[in-house]
């Protein structure tokens, strides 16, 4: 009940201020130009299911040199994805790097 009274008190202060300074309240607008250009989950290939057993076994059998080569290639791909502003792809690559490390 106390919070409701506080809300009314603040609203009345705001209304007096608006009247005094001749301000007409307006709805907030977004600066997003085209909402249809936003990608949905259907548009993005999601591969966040982690490593399968077969991949884990192969990863364990790899030598350190092989792992470092793969990591180096993944880091180049990550930098490229970031440059092209493909952040979803970059997130997938980042997760792959974490699994190998």
Q: What is the number of domains present in the chain?
A: 1
Distance CA 69, CA 39 (A): 32
pTM of the predicted model as reported, rounded to 2 decimal places: 0.44
Least confident range from 15-19, 28-32, 61-65, 84-88: namely 28-32
pLDDT in the model for residue 66: 83
The answer to whether residue 61 sits within a structural domain is yes
Give the residue among 49, 67, 50, 68 at the shortest CA–CA distance from 58. 67
The answer to whether residue 72 sits within a structural domain is yes
The answer to whether residue 95 sits within a structural domain is yes
The answer to whether residue 77 sits within a structural domain is yes
**In the numeric block, which tokens belong to residue 45?**
């290939």
> Residue 18 — very low, low, confident or very high, per pLDDT cuts 50/70/90?
very high
The answer to whether residue 33 sits within a structural domain is no
10 Å CB burial of residue 97 (0-12, 13-18, 19+) is middle
pLDDT in the model for residue 43: 54
| 50 Cα distance to chain centroid | 19
pLDDT in the model for residue 40: 53
Task: Write out the residue range of the structural domain in which residue 65 sits.
Answer: 51-101
- Tens digit of pLDDT for each residue in 43-96? 555 454 455 556 666 777 778 888 888 888 889 999 999 999 988 989 988 988
**In the numeric block, which tokens belong to residue 65?**
């040199």
């Amino acid at each position: 009940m106390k919070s409701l009274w506080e809300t009314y008190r603040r609203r009345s202060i705001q209304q007096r201020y608006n009247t005094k300074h001749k301000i007409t309240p307006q709805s907030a607008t977004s600066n997003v130009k085209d909402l249809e250009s936003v990608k949905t989950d259907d548009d993005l290939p999601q591969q966040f299911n982690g490593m399968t057993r077969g991949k884990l076994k192969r990863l364990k059998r790899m030598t350190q040199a092989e792992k470092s080569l793969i990591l180096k290639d993944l880091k180049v791909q990550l930098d490229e994805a970031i440059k092209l502003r493909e952040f979803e792809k970059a997130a997938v690559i980042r997760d792959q790097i974490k699994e190998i490390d």
